[in-house]
Chain A
Amino acid sequence: MKPPLNKFAAILALTLAALCLTPSAWADGKQKIAVVVSTMNNPWFVVLADSARDRAIELGYDATIFDSQNDTAKEAANFENLIAGGYGAVLFNPTDANGSIANVRKAKAAGVPVFCIDREINATDAATAQLLSDNYAGCVKLGQYFVKTVGQTGTYVELLGLVGDNNTWNRSKGFHSVVDRFPGLKMVAQQSGEFDRAKGLEVMESMLQAHPDINAAFCGNDAMAMGAYQALLAAGKAGQVKVFGFDGADDVLKLIAAGGIEATGMQFPKTMARQAAEFADAYLKGKRDFPQKVPVEVQLVTRDNVAKYGDFGKK
């Protein structure tokens, strides 16, 4: 018969081994924050994710970026990993307003607070807070400027973003809430460019073949505006067709200054990302009363005021 002390030592060793394998909420003595972003294949989202990560690091956390590659399955896997990895909070840019809710609920059930950035989820009882660009108001301003520059008559095309994303429709509805009031302005084509530059180029090329005489193109983000501009350049129509974007990307600001693109809506990805990291920090220090939705203003950028903007914000 083995002495009972050996049995106790074995149990202790197993317990210690199990503890070593259990994920820790701390890395090198620092608590961990996850930044889960819809895609790192678009410079705007890279800025959003980097800003969130950098602010979390400034606040004393160990922060890691998880790329969902615009795929809800990858996003779900990211959440599984970060929950298992013992992360203390998530700064989250969702891929789908409805499809991402389950991931947020899973994190909440595991005691991990989630702070949505830029894109919302269609639930107010899952995330701790959501910091969202006021896309609708931004596109009301863009719509008003569109009418001012294009005039009250003419034809135009619209390049939509991802059709499952609320931002796509908030932008489109804000724009149309103004432009549709002018019956002389007719939309001759509307198609998704999936918020992607290459897709925007491709869609614009086919739209130009069907409608060579359009006066303007309203694009749901700056990546598609760049693609549309590229298609217009190739067709020898740059300058004839007025292009409008949304985001405030640096390459579009340069084109606005040069006269290639008419206007964009400046979102403030750095402001949103930093505020989300600060919310997470406050949560981890005990604060619990957060507003569920915090709208972040979008500002109209035109050739008249473009000098005031740059580096994804106001200079």
Chain B
Amino acid sequence: MRVVRCLIALVVVAGFFRFFPLFHVERLKTAAEQAATVFNAQQFAETFWTGKLLPAISSSSVKAAVLLPAIKADAAAARKKYSHGAGLGDTYFYFVSGSGRATSVSDDEVSLRVTDGGNEAEVSIQTGLIFGDALRDGTGLLNPSDFSNSQNFNDISAALDHIAESRVIPALRKQAKVGATIFFAGCAEVDDESTDLKPLKVIPIQTVLQ
């Protein structure tokens, strides 16, 4: 009789936990699923470059013929009106485009004289090694808050720099000859106004020989 009672109790307890389990067993992520969640900065940068960055040149960049005289007149006001840059600090960026005549060409830069009406100003298009966050942060199109791991966000900088170095700059080097007129679009980082504005140093996103 005692055995029967024990068996009934066991069945009741087993039935209870069948419907109200103490814990659930779930399958761990497979290696493929985990790999799918790994961030691919190169792929992101490629998509961003063609899908957002290049189209933004016509819609969002400030014209060099507007920006350069504005900086010359009042750097603080120009910064307030035209710059990008999230967070706390002194560094800021410009997303700028325009046309200019090449006045000098070296391994690290092509100097362009931008003329508009009576105004004349110079920009330096960078053609050496490219470092830093200007292409990532210079347009205001990417927001660090959208990336849960800042390492991914930083990897985008290196990937964008690589695209500029491997595609845009070699083409510019071929085109750039003193006297040539060149359309350019790119981003400039201003860390120290005493040096970085004289002239503005632009990392190119696009250049076209005109």
Q: A residues bordering B, Cβ < 8 Å?
A: 97, 120, 122-124, 131-132, 134-137, 140-141, 143-144, 166, 169-170, 173-174, 177-178, 181, 268, 271-272, 275, 291-297, 299
Q: How far is the CA of A114 from the CA of B154 in the complex (A)?
A: 24
Pick the contact of A177 from B86, B148, B158 — CB < 8 Å? Answer: B158
B86 touching A170, Cβ below 8 Å: no
Residues of A within 8 A of B155 (CB): 173
Q: Which of B12-20, B102-110, B125-133 contacts A (4 or more CB under 8 A)?
A: B125-133
Binary contact readout B126-150 vs A (1 if CB under 8 angstroms, 0 otherwise): 0001011100000000001111111
Q: Which residue of B lies closest to A294 (CB)?
A: B87
A136 touching B154, Cβ below 8 Å: yes
A297 touching B149, Cβ below 8 Å: no
Pick the contact of A297 from B87, B145, B147 — CB < 8 Å? Answer: B87
Q: Does B60 contact A (CB under 8 A)?
A: no
Q: Does B157 contact A (CB under 8 A)?
A: yes
Pick the contact of A170 from B91, B131, B148, B154 — CB < 8 Å? Answer: B154
Residues of A within 8 A of B129 (CB): 181
| Subset of 29 A-B contacts with CB under 8 Å | A123-B148, A131-B88, A135-B150, A137-B133, A141-B191, A144-B131, A166-B149, A166-B150, A166-B151, A170-B151, A173-B158, A177-B131, A177-B157, A177-B158, A178-B131, A181-B129, A181-B131, A268-B88, A272-B88, A291-B86, A292-B145, A293-B145, A294-B87, A294-B88, A295-B88, A295-B89, A295-B144, A296-B89, A299-B90
Q: B residues bordering A, Cβ < 8 Å?
A: 86-91, 129, 131-133, 144-151, 154-155, 157-158, 161, 191
Pick the contact of A296 from B88, B132, B148 — CB < 8 Å? Answer: B88
Q: Which residue of B lies closest to A101 (CB)?
A: B148
Q: How far is the CA of A275 from the CA of B89 in the complex (A)?
A: 13
B145 touching A275, Cβ below 8 Å: no
Closest 8 CB pairs of A and B: A297-B89, A292-B145, A295-B87, A136-B154, A293-B144, A293-B145, A296-B88, A122-B149
Q: How far is the CA of A244 from the CA of B91 in the complex (A)?
A: 22
B150 touching A136, Cβ below 8 Å: yes
Chain B nearest Cβ from A65, distance in angstroms: 23
Residues of A within 8 A of B191 (CB): 141
B88 touching A271, Cβ below 8 Å: yes
A140 touching B89, Cβ below 8 Å: no
Q: Which residue of B lies closest to A298 (CB)?
A: B89
Residues of B within 8 A of A120 (CB): 149-150
A136 touching B148, Cβ below 8 Å: no
Residues of B within 8 A of A177 (CB): 131, 157-158, 161
A136 touching B133, Cβ below 8 Å: yes
Q: Which residue of B lies closest to A144 (CB)?
A: B131
Residues of A within 8 A of B161 (CB): 177
Chain A nearest Cβ from B162, distance in angstroms: 10
Q: Which residue of B lies closest to A125 (CB)?
A: B148
Residues of A within 8 A of B149 (CB): 97, 120, 122, 166
Residues of A within 8 A of B145 (CB): 124, 291-293
B132 touching A297, Cβ below 8 Å: no
Most buried by B among A97, A134, A166: A134
A143 touching B89, Cβ below 8 Å: no
B87 touching A134, Cβ below 8 Å: yes
Residues of B within 8 A of A131 (CB): 88
B154 touching A173, Cβ below 8 Å: yes
Residues of A within 8 A of B90 (CB): 297, 299
Q: Which residue of B lies closest to A143 (CB)?
A: B131
